[in-house]
Structures are given as structure tokens and as C-alpha cells.
A = this chain, B = another copy of it.
Amino acid sequence: MRVSKFFLSTLKEAPAEAELVSHRLMLRAGMIRRLAAGIYTWMPLGLRVLRKVEAIVREEMNRAGAIELLMPVIQPAELWQESRRWEKYGPDLLRIKDRHERDFVIQPTSEEVITDIARRELKSYKQLPVNFYHIQTKFRDEVRPRFGVMRSREFIMKDAYSFDVGKDQMLESYQAMYDAYVRIFSRLGLVFRAVRADTGQIGGSASHEFQVLADSGEDAIAYCANSDYAANVELAEAAVPGPRPEPREAMEKVPTPGKSTCEEVAELLHLPLSRTVKCIMLYAEGKVQMLLIRGDHSLNEIKASKVAGLAHFRWASDAEIQSALKCPAGYLGPVGIPATMPLIADREVAALADFVCGANEVDYHLRGVNFGRDCREPDRIADIRKVIEGDPSPDGKGLLTIVRGIEVGHVFALGDLYSRALGATFLDAAGEPQVMEMGCYGIGITRIVAAAIEQNHDQRGIVWPEPLAPYSVAIAPIGYDRTEAVRTAADRLHDELQSAGVEVLLDDRGERPGVMFADLELIGIPHRITVGDRGLKSGDVEYQGRLDSEPIRVPLAGAATFVRERMAARS
């Protein structure tokens, strides 16, 4: 392809609203253009990358035996009412009315539609297992879309749904998808981890996220370098602490004027932060509740919400705290609290003796506090903290490391959530109706493009993994518009590579080398061949890989072979 026949539209500066590197680079490289908040046009350069992602996903889904179909973007409300997601799904679900005032949604996912197809089409256990997928435009009406296609409203997702006879078969389908996802993200050339995850809004019994590792990732992932343990920090279990030691100190009230954080109090008392306890006041089930977390830890809200009595908690207000304990936040503690106020301790706090906490009196803390002696034992002990770097891995095989990741795929063992709601049953071998077991499996096609850039860029622009590059090889002729020899050599090399099936982009604009190189580096083409007058005199051209610091001279005659060998070595 020649640049003059393609459409390249690079920018020196990205618009100010683009915060994320991938967003800035996609705008600067002319891969996307904003149409409205969270809605983007995929320009020719971006679309080429998108199609590569799509093709690899499709190939591996087919290889795994999944069957492609295409469900509509616009779906009738009735099915969403049947599954009760019409009410349960928040305002992210874009609800619309057609000209006859009938209700529809613009699909964010297709569980309802595929389950409707399954209940109509799948009658016998002989038709199971089956796994249907589609690659389709989705819409999620994010309240604050941002980060370009990383968190857009309109996006393209591959979503697959398996229908199985019983839990065991479903877990086989789940594993097959898990394996396919490993192949997909490996083939895409991305560094990723499959991590255990919360099942969240969709529900179900088991779930893994596929996270592309990148410093800018929204998710924190805890993993053990010595084992295959990896989990979203939202879900990662903290190791069980040892038994609580015997009390050794008497409780003592100490003045801590103006010191309202654990850090300040620990410093004042010359104690390690891990000896302090902070109180987190929540409101749930009609009352204010006290949660205790070690000073060096922080609350894991997902875990907390799973504690009995805390399902739909919110933060208690200052007024509620004041009214319940006659003391403001910053000086709170479990000593002397009303018997009616639930007290929930993290497992690490429950294992402490002689700890420091607030005295429920402004400017005072207590030290040497012990459960059962100075205050009552917690009503509940639970794992409610976030794991941190250096924590023991829950599998006992080493310590946890925390990295950041971008979620690009998700597999769910759904169970019978939707099949039961919609009555998707089959006849088993004995002729009895059974509810199908389901799994669902998503990949964010558009998001992968942004995640790949977050993981692969430098100060000059994008550094595409070979399988995602919009073009594999760029030819940069110096003086294409002026020098016959350069034009001839560049044209021939272009044609030679193209007929060998290499995706090659010839910059025939006649731009200055600086402009050409900057553009080609910005858009991230992995291999560049520079054709210049001087080199040609000795029959040479220059090759430079996208991350190479220097070019190397290569004979023009062997340049096509040389670059193809480099491509093979990289992929």
C-alpha cells in the first residue's frame, strides 16, 4: 500500500482531554476520531489493527469449536424483563422506544437473546454441549466515558455462551474457553495474566479475568511468582494470620491532640503502623456498623459487601457517626461502644493483642487494648482487607506481588442464572426436562487495541506487537519525489514485499526524512527500510526495527529477504 492511496492523518499534539497514553497515541496516529462522548470512528489505520484482533479471536474461537452467529444490536425489552435485568441493570443500559412506542435496548451483552435461541433450538441432550459466539457492536451508557476506546460507550465485543448438560460439562466448556483465551492473548503478542475474579453484576459461580499488564491499568492484580496463583485484588484472599498472642500491656489512654490518622498516631507513639487499628463506619441494614482494619491495611469493599449484614452498605455520614458514638471520625475505637452496634474485625485485627485505637474522645487514643478484656470480642471476624505487596500467597507457596492490569477478557461459569429465568431446558437421556448450565465468555475487541498500546509504546509512539501492526514493514524513501533511482528502488521493494504477502506501506508522499520517520514511528510499524540516494550508490538500504537504536546497512538486493527473516524472528 502507498501512503498516497491510503489515509494517514497524524497529529503533533493530542487534544487536551486525552489523559491516557493509548488515547493520546491513537488520536495522534489517526487511528480513531471522536464523534461524541465515548463514541469513536475507527479511521482506516485503526480499523486495520481492529480487524487483526478480530481475526485472531475468530480463528481461536472456531478452533475451540465455538460456532459464530450474529445477534442484533437492538433487542426487545421483553427478554430483558424476563431475565429481570430490565429493572436490575442500571442506567448504563440504554433503553429506547421505537416509532410504535415499544421498548427496546441497545445491547451491552446478549445473555437474554442467546438463551432465548437456546430454549427454542436446543431440545435434547444430544445437541449439547454447544457454544455460540458473535462479534458485535455493544453500547454501555457510561456516566463518564473516558480514556478513548478503553472505556467508551459504543464498543465491539466478542461474547460467547456455552450451553451444557450439568455442571461438569459446563466446567469443561469453561476450561476450553480459558485455554482458547490463553492462545488468543498469546497470539496477540501481549503480556497478560489470567486472574481469579469477582463474578460481579453478571453473577455465577467461577470467573477469571484476562488482564493485560500495564502500569496504567485500572485493576490491581495480586500474583505469586512461585505458583500459578493470580487474582484481582478485589477478590484476592489474605493469608490466615497466626493465633492471637496473650495481652502483655494494660490499656492506657494517651493524648494525641490533632493526630487523627493511624500514621500520625503510630509516629507519635513510636509504634509500628501494624499495631494500630482504624475504624471504618458503614451503614447497612438500618444501622451504623463498625469495621476494624489494621492501620497499614485498607478496606476491600467487594469482600466487605459479602459479609453477612453488609450486603448493600454505604459509608456512614458524619452526623450518623456523631450521633452513634458522640465522637467524630479520627478518634474512634471499639472500647465502650453500644452493645447494639455490630462490630466486625478483619482477621488480622482479630489476631492482634495490645493494639492502638481511638478512645471515642477527640484528641485521645488508647494503647494496650485487647479484645475480651477492654472491649467485647468482635461479632464477626472476616477477611475484609485488600492484600498488599509482600503478603503471603493464600496457596502458601510464596509472597504476593501486585501489578496493574487492563481487563480485556472475562470467562464466567454462569450456572443456571439465565437458563432458569428464561426456562431454557432440554430433555436428558431419560426424557426428563433439565435446566441447561451456561457459561459466558467476553473479549473486548476494541479495548484490546488500547491495552496493547498501553503495554507497547515509547516516547516516539506506538510499538506494535508484530501480530497487531497495521502494516509490518514501512519503506521510507528519501527524496521519492526528486530522485528517479530512489523511486525505482522503493517501488520495486514495495512490489516485491507485497507479492510475497507482506503488509508493506510505502511512504510516497515525498516528505522530509524527519516527518516521515516521526510518522512511521508514531504509528508503530515494526520494521522500516530507508532507501536513500547515497546508500543506493553502493547498492545498500538501511533497516531499522522499531526499537532499534541504530539502523543497519543491508544490500538492496537482499532487503526483502532480510526483513522477512526479521519478521519471522519476532513472531
Contact = CB atoms under 8 A, between A and B. Distances in A.
A154 B73 contact: yes
Interface stretch (A62-70, A266-274, A306-314, A368-376): A62-70
Contact of A5 (B9, B36, B65, B91): B65
A47 B70 contact: yes
A430 interface: no
A35 interface: yes
A33 B120 contact: yes
A69 B47 contact: yes
Contact of A96 (B39, B41, B71, B94): B94
Given A67-B7, A99-B94, A76 B44 contact: no
A68 to B, nearest CB: 6
Contacts of A137: 73, 137
A55 interface: no
Interface string A345-366: 0000000000000000000000
Contact of A117 (B5, B33, B117): B33
A271 B44 CA distance: 67
Interface string A19-39: 000000000000001011001
Most buried by B among A7, A50, A92, A106: A7
A76 B37 CA distance: 9
Main secondary structure of the interface of A (DSSP, over half): mixed
Contacts of A71: 35, 41
Given A36-B72, A47-B68, A74-B106, 15 more contacts: A5-B67, A33-B117, A33-B120, A35-B76, A35-B113, A36-B76, A39-B72, A41-B113, A41-B117, A42-B70, A44-B68, A44-B132, A73-B137, A94-B96, A94-B99
The 7 closest A-B pairs by CB, nearest first: A42-B70, A36-B76, A96-B96, A91-B99, A99-B141, A39-B72, A44-B67
Interface of A: 5-7, 9, 33, 35-36, 39-44, 46-47, 50, 65, 67-76, 91-92, 94, 96, 98-99, 104, 106, 113, 116-117, 120-121, 130, 132, 137, 139, 141, 143, 153-154
11 contacts: A5-B65, A7-B121, A35-B72, A39-B75, A44-B132, A73-B137, A73-B139, A74-B139, A94-B99, A96-B106, A137-B137
